[in-house]
A = this chain, B = another copy of it.
Amino acid sequence: MRLKLRNIFLVYFVVSSAGLMYALLQLGQQCDCTHSTNYALRKEQLSHRGKENLPIIYVVTPTFARPHQRAELTRLSQTLLLVPSLHWILVEDSAERTAAVAELLAQSDLPYTHLNVQTPLAMKLKDSDPNWLKPRGVEQRNEALRWLREHRSPGDRGVVYFADDDNTYSVKIFQEMRYTQKVSVWPVGLVGGLRYEAPLVDNGKVIGFHTAWKTHRPFPIDMAGFAVSLSLLLTHPNARFDPDAERGFLESSLLGQLVTLRELEPRADNCTKVWVWHTRTEKPKLKQEDMLEKQGRGSNPKIFV
């Protein structure tokens, strides 16, 4: 009896220990998530980006109310949703944060900060002005810089990208900028009257710029063509965009306070790939609205466009 019990014990001990170890090892493995593909779960997965240990990309977008604003912000937010570890700072050109933008942000599933600052009247474009007449988004970008300096500290790893709401961004451009040490640069498509503008790179260093317009600018590069490390902005607390900068010199007014040409970090395959385009959206024609209004068939103001 004694022998039998001891043997049973020993056998059970060995088998159960092996089984328990196997089960515990399985619990420690990263689970295979490829079967979890329904939309609701995917949205939840996409929104849990904060758990990665990646430097955060702070995307700063100035925006202002116009008929196609919601369309622009919708398609931009959907691109941003594909990028891990990203924080959207949306700054309205307005006296108050609007309900329309607040709702869009709340539904976007993105981590975000919603700010506002109104451009002084003297600086604002009139409807009939060409869009290049006065610099746009300056106060709004500076407001985002102010917020970052107030809410982030030099220990926070991140990079800041000034992304206007009508450009087109491949998700690849965000991969390119994430590990910026100081300022990284890359080509921008369809800008400056050219197919693309781009830094010229030799031996891994920027030696000049492929550009046609105001080539004497210290940094003849579009807003969409560079990103700045968060730490560089925090260690240069006075660096901001100059609202009085001559046309085309807005980017230089910031970058000149932060880096020299040689310190620029070329990305996108030594600046030979285009992953961001300076697209512009046509102003929608709304001439029929008044006509319908007069016929008593006006559009329903409760339907938000």
Which residues of A are at the interface with B, using a C-beta cutoff of 8 A? 2, 5-6, 8-9, 12-13, 16-17, 19-20, 23-24, 26-27, 30-39, 41-42, 44-46, 48-49, 51-52, 67-68, 70-72, 74-75, 78-79, 81-84, 168-171, 175, 187, 189-190, 192-196, 198, 210, 212-213, 272-274, 277-282, 284-289, 291-292, 297, 299-300, 302-305
Contacts and interface: CB of A to CB of B under 8 A. Distances in A.
A244 to B, nearest CB: 26
B24 A195 contact: no
A45 B42 contact: yes
Closest 3 CB pairs of A and B: A31-B31, A193-B288, A23-B23
Contacts of A291: 212
A66 to B, nearest CB: 11
Contacts of A212: 288-289, 291-292
A208 to B, nearest CB: 10
Contacts of A32: 31
B280 A281 contact: yes
A151 B131 CA distance: 49
Contacts of A30: 35-36
Contacts of A5: 2, 5-6, 9
Contact of A195 (B20, B39, B175, B305): B305
Contacts of A193: 285-289
Contact of A24 (B23, B68, B292): B23
Contacts of A12: 9, 13
14 contacts: A20-B20, A27-B27, A31-B33, A36-B45, A37-B52, A67-B190, A70-B277, A71-B190, A72-B168, A75-B168, A194-B289, A196-B299, A196-B305, A198-B303
A302 B196 CA distance: 12
A282 B285 contact: no
Nearest to A285: B193
Contact of A277 (B13, B68, B274, B286): B68
Contacts of A45: 33-34, 36-37, 42, 45
Given A20-B19, A33-B33, A79 B75 contact: yes
Contact of A37 (B13, B84, B192, B302): B84
Contacts of A52: 37-38
A286 to B, nearest CB: 6
Contacts of A281: 279-282
B284 A190 contact: yes
Contacts of A26: 23, 27
